[in-house]
A and B are shown apart, each in its own frame.
Chain A
Amino acid sequence: MALKRCKYSYWPVYTLVSLCLCGVQSAIAQTSGNITSLVKQIPVGVDVSSIPNWNTVYNNFQPALPIGDPNRSPDPPFNFVIAEAWAGIHPTPGGDSPNAILQSISTNITLRAAYCELNFNDGSPLAPNTSQTGYWQVQQAISNIGDQLGTISFLAIAVENDANLVNANKTPGSHTLSKPEKIERIFQAVQAANQAGLMPIIYTSRDDWASVTDSNTYLGGNAQIPLWDIDGSTGTTIDTIDISLDFDVTPTSITPWVGYGGWTQRQGRQYALTVGNPTNAAAIAAGADFDSFSSFPIAGQYVPPTAVDITQQVAVNLGRLVYVRSTGLWYQRVTLTAHPGTSNVGPISLVLDGLTSAALFDESGNRVNTFTKNVAPLNSPYINVDIGDYVFEPQAPPQPSVVLQFNARPNYTHIRVLGGIGQR
């Protein structure tokens, strides 16, 4: 815990409010002169990739302050952009790839980030009839970001109780995820972001988090994963009050923000999705959001946590080898059983040390390209094991297992089990 605090203390703490709605500013101005004053000193930002023809919108977007105002930000008028890198079902609905968007954004923009919206229904047609794990979905996001990965400060993991992501559009034959399985999927996504060296932030609302995770408190509490909070309300009044609260303006009527899911503070805030008036209707329709961030790390300087070696707390049962002529592959089922009395946070990974005679493939037949880079021995391939929950404890059969595939008879010398959201 102390280490995490130390890690966060390295971050240069910026206060950044990103506004994309002139109408919101009007509303704020009516509420408090102090807030208006604050808004004058802040840049404007936008979720670029959810806007079709975002470049046109970007260029024509009216900055918060008129040209010539001494408090207006230098061109471009934005100082925060976040690109949608994975939309749960599709790569990006906006048209331009997040890679192209991030490439074309001015370097004057201080904070650039990306987000990965999780599906909980295996609904993407890109991988039908497979478990679209948190790892897989983050990998889609990372792939879409491409060579711009090193320029972003964080990867937001969006957890929303959207019918399109939770129930509808299920791949035929896929099973409905239980709540523990949904939580495991979020943990997988957080781990995958850490593995890629990207700081994970959870983007959710109080209601969404409760619906999807039963208000799980591990990520917000023990793990101290930052929260980018969506205001769950849709009215203008409470949003305005939140802004008043966050920027230390204290009208007597405000209600303090109450934490949830283990979070006692919010690094990021998104105030309204539906606030509007005729002047900003177009921007709202285009998907622009109104966000602020209290602090964030400089891109490339995030230090991920490290996974925990739990090998001694798990019985690893190696099955026999089977050779299949048609594929030329060797198959082996490995089953994990938690020792009595143990409880370890997932996700869980199986590491094969000393594997030199063969390459490892996952259950979908894809060559495994994840290797240990933080927990020695390094450069050992590892494969993730679905345990059906975010904690691995003794449970009734069947025990979690995975079928390993090799392109030659394997000769690995040692097997390890790693757990937690940290880097392997």
Chain B
Amino acid sequence: MRRRTSMNAGHTICYLTIMIAGFLLAWASICNAQLYNVAIDTSSLDGLGTYYVEFQVTAGSAPFGDSQATISNFNLTGGTLGAILPPTQGNVAGSLPGTLILTDGPAIFGPIADFAQAFSVTNTTSNLSFGLQLAASTVNTPIPDGFTFMILDGSQVPLPTTGPTGVEFVSADFTSTTPIPQVYGTASNSPVIIPTPNLTTSTAVPESNAICLLGSLSLSIIRLLIRRRDILKQR
């Protein structure tokens, strides 16, 4: 009886370990995502009042919580950031101009992570830039998860662009675990002209990757120690 309890506990620990390790390995994949640098010429918005940046990650088909966008190094030259535009929806962590992480779940957060914040431009050489990492642990079909970056006017209406749904300046369908973002400029019917954002890649490896891998390694060692203890008890 005692031995059986010990075995059950061992199994539970084993399963937990596998789950956590799986999560961390998936997380390691996310951490290992390519870093893209996005630069947008916002000079045409000079003196036109309040606009909003809006970042959005949407869940497609199940499962939820397996895709993530990380915005870092947010910088607005020739302008100022304003207040956050409520509501912030879903699994959003961090804030601007610091790092912002949007995840498409898990289900308790809902199928959308959405964050918007006001800004205004006061200089004819204004530029908005940020780093973007996109990664998923699984690819969902038939509807993929997605990342969308929009700019809203003072009435919170997206500026029309040449993007797939007519509103996105930067977007990505998570049709792979490391999707490549696409960039679009304003459409001909837009009241202001913003050229297609400049998209470059960075060779820097995010340091969080090492932390994730270290976590996975630590859990494996713990699991080995528990197993060794169980074997000793049985003897």
Contacts and interface: CB of A to CB of B under 8 A. Distances in A.
A binds B: yes
Interface of A: 316, 318-326, 331-333, 401, 403, 409, 415
B158 A332 contact: no
Contact of A321 (B143, B152, B172): B143
A316 B144 CA distance: 13
A326 B144 contact: no
A324 B150 CA distance: 9
Interface of B: 54, 56, 58-60, 111-112, 114, 116, 142-148, 150, 152, 155-158, 164-168, 171-174
Given A320-B173, A333-B165, A325 B152 contact: yes
Contacts of A333: 164-165
List the 3 shortest-distance A-B pairs measured between CB atoms, nearest first: A320-B146, A331-B165, A333-B164
A319 B165 contact: yes
Contacts of A316: 142
B58 to A, nearest CB: 4
Contacts of A321: 58-60, 143, 146
Contact of A331 (B155, B167, B172): B167
A408 B144 CA distance: 17
Nearest to B52: A325
A322 B56 contact: yes
A206 B142 CA distance: 48
A324 B142 CA distance: 22
B156 A332 contact: no
Contacts of B152: 325-326
Nearest to A405: B165
B191 to A, nearest CB: 14
A333 B56 CA distance: 16
Contacts of A322: 56, 58, 146, 148, 165, 167-168, 171
B165 to A, nearest CB: 4
Nearest to A410: B143
Contact of A323 (B56, B147, B155, B174): B56
Contacts of B155: 326
Interface centre among A316, A319, A321, A403 (most CB of B within 10 A): A321
A321 B112 CA distance: 9
A11 B73 CA distance: 74
Contact of A318 (B143, B156, B158): B143
Contact of B143 (A320, A324, A326, A403): A320
Given A325-B54, A403-B166, 17 more contacts: A319-B144, A319-B173, A320-B145, A320-B171, A320-B172, A322-B148, A322-B171, A323-B56, A323-B112, A323-B114, A324-B150, A324-B167, A326-B155, A331-B166, A332-B143, A333-B164, A333-B165
Contacts of A325: 54, 114, 116, 152, 156
A325 B55 CA distance: 12
A318 B142 contact: yes
B157 A319 contact: no
Given A320-B143, A320-B145, A326 B165 contact: no
21 contacts: A316-B142, A318-B60, A318-B142, A318-B144, A319-B146, A319-B164, A319-B173, A320-B58, A320-B60, A320-B143, A320-B173, A321-B59, A322-B168, A325-B54, A325-B114, A325-B116, A326-B152, A326-B158, A403-B164, A403-B165, A415-B142
Contacts of A320: 58, 60, 143-148, 171-174
Contacts of B114: 323, 325
A326 B156 contact: yes
A293 B26 CA distance: 72
A326 B146 contact: no
Interface centre among A316, A319, A325, A331 (most CB of B within 10 A): A325
